[in-house]
Amino acid sequence: MGEVFAGRYELADPIGRGGAGAVWRAWDHRRRRYVAAKVLQQRDAHSLLRFVREQALRIDHPHVLAPASWAADDDKVLFTMDLVAGGSLVHLVGDYGPLPAPFVCTLLDQLLSGLAAVHAEGVVHRDIKPANVLLEATGTGRPRLRLSDFGIAMRLGEPRLTEADLVVGTPGYLAPEQMMGAEPDFPADLFATGLVALYLLQGAKPDAKALVEYFAEQGTPSAPKDVPEPLWQVLAALLQPDPQARFRTATGARKALAAAAELLPEPGPDEEQIEVFDQLGPLPPGFGPDGPERTLGADGSDGAEESGTGGRPTRALPSDEDTGSFRLPPPVRPQEPASAASGASTGSLNPTAPTASYTAEDPRVPPSAVPVPAVPLPAVPLPAVPLPAAHPSAAPPPAPAISPHRAVRPRRPGPPAKVAIPLLLVALVCYAVGFWALARL
């Protein structure tokens, strides 16, 4: 089965990757449901601080996907969120290309609604882009959008975690003032929201740099092709290069959008219907709709019955180089020395053991944990050695013959000198103190 965090969250399969960690589908043993778990991959203090800041956000809104809980286990930490199965806006545009204007208005209204809740908490998202806007798998019903990934979000007035001359965000979705090093503010999120809306209407990433230059040199351009004029007026107010000329709040942009949506023509009967599919795919082997197909023991160990796979999933986890995944290897257990009865015929290692090999020089493994193969020795006649006649009546026992097929067990070395000498000195001191105490009686 999968790796279990803090005896509660069992990782099933990787489903994506965020700015600072991989996102997994995981089973919550306490709440008995699947959740999305973001696992921190970096171990440096800077990444850990961002991770702690992200998991501290608690925004309860139907169009915001914020962390719900967190857990730590040894040197790994994670936080969990609701599991959203419909993929991102990137998946939707990849399936259908440019989307109809009424459908885009619905998505844009939900995005602005979630953004208004985020801004009401004094938080600037700083990374609004299609990949960070997720969708519930609603089929042909009304879409439901969730704003996610607060990895670089920050509250107004909080200290920045980057140097003053560095810009954090996604190229192509940065506001002009961000490129000039201005402090993060709400209008920068609204600028990125306008670019996301253009992406949905045109089916391709807009050229933000060319758009800003056109606005600065020639003013507001005319509506692009296939973008209705009422909707373009709203988007143009979001995309103004001067932050003072944009909408000041997401709520104000929502009101303007609602007025523009009423002016749009009704969709025709032959217009393609948009369906939001389940993008996660089937559960991996060993997991079912009601969780893992076995229970955990009291100590958190795998309670699956022994089989040819040893209770482990038959599907190998992706390697560290694959996008959206990492390997959680099982703990390395030291091998026992080969017994004399095994001989050369059973000298192979356990096929289920890790493939990494260790030598006696490896400081992580004690010498007794290194397997020593049995070495057959030829029969050597022992010379007769006279024994002192302490008991003339007792005959010395014959020397046992060494079988040519018998393995010689390696002699286990004693403790090193740097350990043995201090122990010996301590023992002598204790011995002297004991004699002194007896003399005082």
- Residues 358-406 have pLDDT tens digits of 333 444 444 444 444 444 444 545 445 454 444 444 455 555 554 444 4
Q: Does residue 54 lie within any of the structural domains?
A: yes
User: Tens of pLDDT along 407-438?
Assistant: 445 555 666 666 677 777 788 888 788 877 77
pLDDT score of 398: 55
Of 19-23, 229-233, 345-349, 413-417, the poorest mean pLDDT is in 345-349
Backbone angles phi, psi at 423, to 5 degrees: -65, -40
Of the two residues 312 and 64, the one the predictor is more confident about is 64
Task: Name which of 6-15, 82-91, 333-342 the model is least confident about.
Answer: 333-342
| pLDDT number for residue 192 | 97
- DSSP letter, residue 376: B
Higher-confidence position of 228 and 18 = 228
Residue 307 is predicted with a pLDDT of: 34
CATH number of the domain residue 49 falls in: 3.30.200.20
| Residue 384 covered by a domain | no
Q: What integer pLDDT is reported at residue 2 of this predicted model? A: 76
Predicted local distance difference test score (pLDDT) of residue 435: 77
Same-domain check for residues 201 and 144: yes
Tell me the average pLDDT across 208-237: 92
pLDDT of residue 211: 92
- Residue 352: the pLDDT is 40
284 with 313: CB under 8 angstroms?
A: yes
Is 399 within the bounds of a domain? no
How many separate domains does the chain show? 2
Active site residues: 127
Query: For helices 229-238 and 250-261, what crossing angle results, to 10°?
Result: 170
Instruction: Kindly tell me if the per-residue pLDDT of 354 is higher than 50.
Output: no
> pLDDT at position 22, please?
86
Instruction: Find residue 71's DSSP bridge partners.
Output: 78
**Alpha carbon of residue 227 to chain centroid:** 39
Of 126, 121, 146, 125, whose CA–CA distance to 58 is shortest?
121
Same domain, 252 and 122: yes
213: containing domain = 89-261
Q: 10 Å Cβ neighbour count for 325?
A: 19
Region of residue 319 (left: phi > 0; alpha: psi -120 to 50; beta: else): beta
Q: Are residues 93 and 203 in the same domain?
A: yes
For the entire predicted model, the pTM comes to 0.66
CA dist., res. 164 & res. 168, Å (int): 10
In a shared domain, residues 79 and 30: yes
- Mean pLDDT across 55-77: 84
43 pLDDT band, cuts 50/70/90, is low
Domain termination site, one of 261, 282, 312: 261
